[in-house]
Every structure is written in structure tokens, then in C-alpha cells.
Structure 1
Amino acid sequence: MKKLFVFLCVVVGVGILIGIKKSNSASALEVNAAEVSVQEIESSILASGNVIYYKEVSIRSEVTGRVLDVFVEEGDEVKKGDILAKLDDTSFKARVERMVSDINLQNIELRKREEEFERAKQQLERQKKLQSKGLSSVDAIDELETSLTIAKLEIESTQASIVGKQALLDEARQELAKTVFTSPIDGLVVDVGVKVGETVVAGTTNIIGSELMLVSDPSSMKVNLRVDEADIANVRLGQRVNVYAAADQDKKILGTVSKLGVRASSANANANSGLVVMIKVDLEGDTSHLRSGMSCRAEIVKQQIGTAKVVPISALNLASNDVPYIWVIEEGKASRQEVELGLATDTEQQILAGLETGQEVIIGPSRTTALLKEGMAVQAMQVESQG
């Protein structure tokens, strides 16, 4: 009987302890927490932009004609000099042949004029000999000299005509050559904007010629970034940049600033939008997953610290007297700890003094942290490990 009584007392005691523990747990404020860690931290400028091929050539038509053949497709690799497309060259060849024929006729005419000149020259010499013997008149000599001058002028006129027609022939041959489109660089065909049978138009002063295709050098890939005018003073050549493409936002691509814009422009078509300055960034490492035109975000590194004590930025609070503080969990209770701040990023805050590595700090949720008071019981539902 005595043993049974002792056993019941033990059971009741354990139940009371469990109840007290559950009661304390139920009254504790549930929070999210993170550990104070030591890691590398960077202060950076945020920017957005697009991936581009820096070396990119638009193939445009300089003559008007119908597309006869297209030899490449989008994505094809080409070498400098490879034929990309051809126009129907029938009329261009006919013009060349016509000009060649005209020049041949003019050469025949030139030989005729030269023979006439020589004949007139010989007649003049004979008349001069006769005149010396008193057998020819002065008028006959004058007439022959006039004929000789006219023959010489006709030769010069024919020669000038041949030069003009030769220039037209050279122009016709150049236009014939322009019916064949070749790649000006080793690269990749990134766009084909023409089909067989379509008519392309030559460029003029007021009209841009038809674009047939776009050839780019993939090894010349860069990033165009839009930097807010308020931040551009902190950007310099050679500065390190972390680029994150929209295609893979978790993969960091290293780069360096290679060119700074010289003027500011509107961020978009809205006249009231802020001004931005364009910069170019050279990329390093593997960029095979990138495509020209892709959007990206970037962090332009201003300052870097290799071993910094950090907490999530969401852990930071500001008192009414502008003194920063952080809620720390100590033995299941919230404790307000004033801190000295260092470098900050969009996600992390460096702590210079006030916290120790490994301490648990409260990071949210915000609707819950607003209720915190010194010594209040808290329970960490989720603990994030930094670094």
C-alpha cells in the first residue's frame, strides 16, 4: 500500500511539472531567430541591366533585290567570309555586261579616232612639203591643221567617255558583289530577319536598309548596367561587380567595370522617372548559359571586409533616441542589447560591438517583434544559420 502511494505521488508530480512546462511554453512568444556569425561582407551598389554582345554586326542590304538563297539559321556558327545569303543577281549581271559592251564600243571608237588623227597628221606633213616647193596653198595647210586639232579633241573626248563608263562598270560590279552577303567576323548568327522570296530595300539618306541578319561574337559578351545618378560617383573603372542573370539568379558571375557613361538619361520613357548612367561590365568565367538581351541584376562592390561579425538586417531595431539595438534570446527570454554598427548590405549588418558569435538574435516576424519586452519569454521556432 505504501509503495502504491509513493508511485501515485511520483505520477502526480511529473504531471504537474509537465503542465507547468506546457503552460510556460504556451505563454512564450514564438519568434524566428538567427545566429550571430563571422563571414565576408560587402557593401555594394545595386544596379540592373542587360547582357549584350559587345561585338555585334548588323547585316544590311546596300542594294534592292529579291532574296534568292539564305544559307544560315539562327544559332549557326560562322567564320569570317562565309556566305550568309544571296539576292537574285540577274539584273545586276546584265548591267555589268551592258557596261562592258559600251566600253568595248568606246575602245573601238577611240582606235578609229586615233587612225583619223594619224591620217590627218600625215596629210598635213605632205602639204607642208608641197608648200615648200610652192605646190600647196596656205588655206589647204590651215584646213588640215584644223582637222588635226579636231581629231585630237575627239580622241580626248572618247578617252574621257571611256573613263566615265569604266567608273560606271566598277560601280555595277560593286553592286553585283553586294548581292552576296558574307560574315564580317567569326561568330554566331543570333537573328535571321529575311526569307527566300522577300524583297530587301537598299539604304538611303533617310531610310535604313533592310536588315537581313545579326552576327555576334559570343566571346565579346558584356553587361550594360543602369546606375542611379546618386550612386555613379561611387563607381570607378576596374571595380568588382557581382552579376546575377535572370536565367539563374543564384549563380554569381564575376565582372569588372570597363567603361563609364558620360551622360545621364531617363530610366524609362516616363519624363518624371529618375536619371541613370550606363556603364559596361566585362564578365569572367563561364557565360555559356547567358544569351544576348537577358536581363540581370548586379552588385557593384564598394567595400569588402573579410572577417565581419554579422546578423540579418531584419534583426536590427532603432530606439526613439536613434540608438540601434537587437533582441537577443538568453535562457528562453528576450533581452534588449544595444549594438555598434558597421558595414551593411541589403541582407546583412556588421556588428562592431555588443554581440558575440553564436548568440541567437530575434529576426521576426515583425508583427511579433513589435510586442517584445525585456525579459519576455520567447521560443525560437526557426533558427537560421548564417554563413
Structure 2
Amino acid sequence: MNKILKYSLIGLLVLGALWAAAFFIKSNSKSAVTYETMKPFIANIEKKTVATGKVVPEDEIEIKPQISGIIEKIFLEEGAEVKSGDLIARIKVVPNEQSLNQARGRVRNAELALNNVTIEYNRNKALFEKGVISNQDFNNIQLQFDQAKQELSNAQSDYQIIKRGSAGGSASANTNIRATVDGTILEIPVEEGFQVIQSNNFNDGTTIATIADLTKMIFEGKVDEGEVGKLKLGTPLKISLGAIEGKELDAKLRFIAPKGVEETGAVQFKIEGDVEVDDDVFIRAGYSANASMVLEKKDSIMVIPEALLQFDNKTDKPYVEVAVGNVEDQKFERKDIEIGISDGVNVEIVSGLTKDDEVKQWNKTEPIKKGEEEEDSEESEE
């Protein structure tokens, strides 16, 4: 019985050894990885950068009142097309009681002064007609009489302006807020009943409306300090709008800020570009946009895909591996190269390669056949 058990164990060990040997032979019989190659080729390379920003009107005009008061009526809405002189809103004047009282008192004083001068004028006129006083004396009285009448007229006008906002109800009264330019109303930040302050030397005043010409748009964006030195005025831009897919607008760079602003650890420079607006595209003020611009361009140069490059661990210089002899022999040697500009896909070869060199493609693995994949799956399950 012990012999049978002993022989059984020996038989199992032999079978296990044979199975392991077969598995090892089968695993090592698979073909080695075959690397494909690629020759350098001639292409054009453009090095581009993208600036993020927005599209805004070239000029935005803020309409402000010339008198303080309360918005009585708004006649237009945001988005309305206006011409210069169109009525936008009307202000109801709420006079200051102290100023109104002072103006009323000035009118009364002017009336009293005029009454007194009128009496003197009538008396001296009668004397002048009788030849009692000289012509010079009468002219002085005439001047005082005319000045008193003018002072009363001025006081009455000031009183009407303080009380009603205008003198004589003229068509250009300060209470009527009108457009000063042609364009589109972008914003009306006030509503009926809002109190507004006039524009003066000490206060900008309350904005009644903002008007801009949406046919004259510019791109405002920022670029990094590492790229701003390569930009030139007049450089063509391609503007893509986030709100309008598949549509690019042409533009030209017109301004580069002389001073940068530090943002999140990087210095950014403001740029502006004149946008050519198509008639079939309606662009709203403030659309977010990206501007693509060419920093450097070379035509008809020898290039290879960037994926073929390797970099030395010590010197960090680029190199590739080139096939020696026939490609089928899968023998490669290292070649140090000098590279130029890159567009992120292809890179310029300045020196180190010829157009006939077969450059090794890295990270290529041999495809697994279907039968082998099933066998490997079964072996892993066991």
C-alpha cells in the first residue's frame, strides 16, 4: 500500500514537471516585439498660442442726467436700436426746499429792486423831457432800469429750473434723457421711480443707459509673458466664440499692453484686436472668446512626429533610434539630433537625420492573436 502511494506521488510530480516545461516552452515560443519605423518627411509647421478673453464693443457710451430727480418714465428697453436724439427716459424734478426758497427770495428781491428803479426811471424821464437833467444823467438811470429788468428775468429763470428742471419748457429740457449716439441699448440699470443724481465735477452721476455700436467689436484678452515678445501689431487672429459653435471671426492685433499684471503667479499682458463682424452673425457684448494667433511659422521643413523623440536622462538632449541595415533585422542605433519649432504634433529636425533614415517608433506592442488570448485566459483561471 505504501509503495502504491509512493509511486502515485512520483507520477504526479513527473506530470507537474512536464506541464511546467510545456508551459515554459510555449511562453518563450511567442515572437518578439517588432518595431515599426517611419521616415522623416517634409511639412509646414505653425507654432500657435491661444489667448482667452471676450468680445466687447469698441466704444460704450454711458448716458447720465444733467439734473437730479426721480425716473418718471422709461420709453425704451434694453436691446433697442436708437438714433442720436431719441428719447430714452424722463426725469421728474424733486427740488431741494432750501434751494427753492432761496430762488423764490431772489425773485422777490429782484421785483422790489425793479419797482424802485422804475419809479426813479419815470421821474427822471419826465425831468429829461423838460430839459432839467442832462442826457448823461438820464442814460445812467436808463442803464439801472434795464439791469433791474434783466436781474428779475434771470431770477425767474433760475427759479423755474430749480422747480421744474427747465426754463420756458424748451425741447432740450434737462428732464428729457436722450441718446447721444447711434447704436444699441446694452443696459438700462434703473427703473421707474429710481432716484438719480446729476453728473457734475464731483460725481459721475447715475447711469441711465449704456449704448454701443455692435457692428464695431474688439477682442480683449491676455497672453503670458513668455509669448508676448513674439507678438507684433497687425498679426492675424482667429476668434472662436463659446456661444457660436463652428464659427470663426477674423481679427487683427491692434494693441499690446506695455505693462503686465501678475495673476496666480504668472505675468499676463492685455491685448486687443479689431474683429471683422459678419452681417449674418449677431454678436452680443461680452461673449467669451478665444483668439488663436501664429507665433512662428516655417514652410517645407523636415519633420518627424514628436512621439518618436527620446531624451537623455543626464543631458536632457533629444535623440532617436535609427534602423541599421534592413528594417527586418530589427537592429537600431542611437542618433543625437537637434530640433527646432514644434506644433505639438510634429517637430522640426535641424540636424542629425536624413530623409532616408528609418526612425524607430516607440511603445509598439505585438498584437495578441485570438487563440492565444483564449489560452492565456484559461491558464489564468487555473
| TM-score bucket (shorter structure) | 0.5 to 0.7
With over 3 angstroms needed to count, the CA separation of the structure-2 counterparts of 1:87 and 1:356, relative to structure 1, is farther
In the alignment, which residue of structure 1 is the partner of 2:197?
201
- Residue 324 of structure 1 aligns with which residue? 318
Q: Which has the higher strand share?
A: 1
Tell whether 2:62 aligns with 1:62.
no
| Aligned equivalent of 2:54 | 50
Give the SS at the match of 1:57. strand
Instruction: Say whether the 8 Å CA contact 2:215–2:277 is kept in structure 1.
Output: no
Change beyond 3 A, Cα 1:155–1:82? closer
Written as runs of structure 1 = structure 2, the 5 A alignment for 1:137-156 is: 152-156=143-147
Name the TM-score, length of structure 1 as normaliser.
Answer: 0.63
What is the aligned partner in structure 2 of residue 232 from structure 1? Answer: 228
Aligned to 1:243: 239
Q: Is the 8 A contact 1:41 1:306 kept in 2?
A: yes
Query: Which among 300, 304, 311 is matched to residue 297 of structure 2?
Result: 304
Q: 1:221 aligns with which of 208, 212, 217?
A: 217
Is 1:159 matched up with 2:155? no
1:342 counterpart SS class:
strand
Q: Is the 8 A contact 1:117 1:152 kept in 2?
A: no
Alignment deviations for residues 223-272 of structure 1 (CA, whole Å, 9 cap, x no partner): 112233343333222122233333357654332111232333333xx6xx
Q: Which residue of 1 aligns with 2:273?
A: 281
Q: Where does the alignment leave 5 or more consecutive residues of structure 2 unmatched?
A: 1-25, 369-382
User: Match for 1:342 among 336, 340, 343?
Assistant: 340
Structure 1: state its 5+ residue gaps.
1-18, 129-140, 363-368, 381-387
Q: What is the CA RMSD across the aligned residues, in angstroms?
A: 4.9
Alpha-carbon distance, 1:281 to partner: 0.6
1:340-383 per-residue CA deviation (whole Å, 9 max, x = no partner) reads 423223454233563659x8974xxxxxx5xx5xxx86569xxx
Deviation at 1:197, TM superposition (A): 3.0
Q: CA deviation at 1:218?
A: 1.1
1:120 counterpart residue number:
124
**Among 254, 257, 282, the residue aligned to 1:258:** 254
Matched residue SS, 1:156: helix
Q: Return 246-255 or 53-62, whichever deviates more.
A: 246-255
| Structure-2 change in CA distance of 1:337 and 1:301 (3 Å) | same
Rounded to whole Å, the distance in 2 between the matches of 1:303 and 1:34 is 26
CA deviation after TM superposition for structure 1 residue 215, in Å:
1.7
Counterpart Cα distance in 1 of 2:197 and 2:284:
30
Q: Is the 8 A contact 2:321 2:360 kept in 1?
A: yes
1:333–1:205 Cα change, 3 Å: farther
2:92 maps to 1:88: yes
Amino acid at match of 1:173: S
**TM-score, scaled to structure 2:** 0.64
- Residues 77 and 230 of structure 1, relative CA distance in 2, 3 Å threshold: same
Secondary structure of the residue aligned to 1:237 is coil
8 A Cα contact 2:62 2:211, kept in partner: yes
Distance 1:191 1:120 in 2: 64
Distance 1:238 1:69 in 2: 46
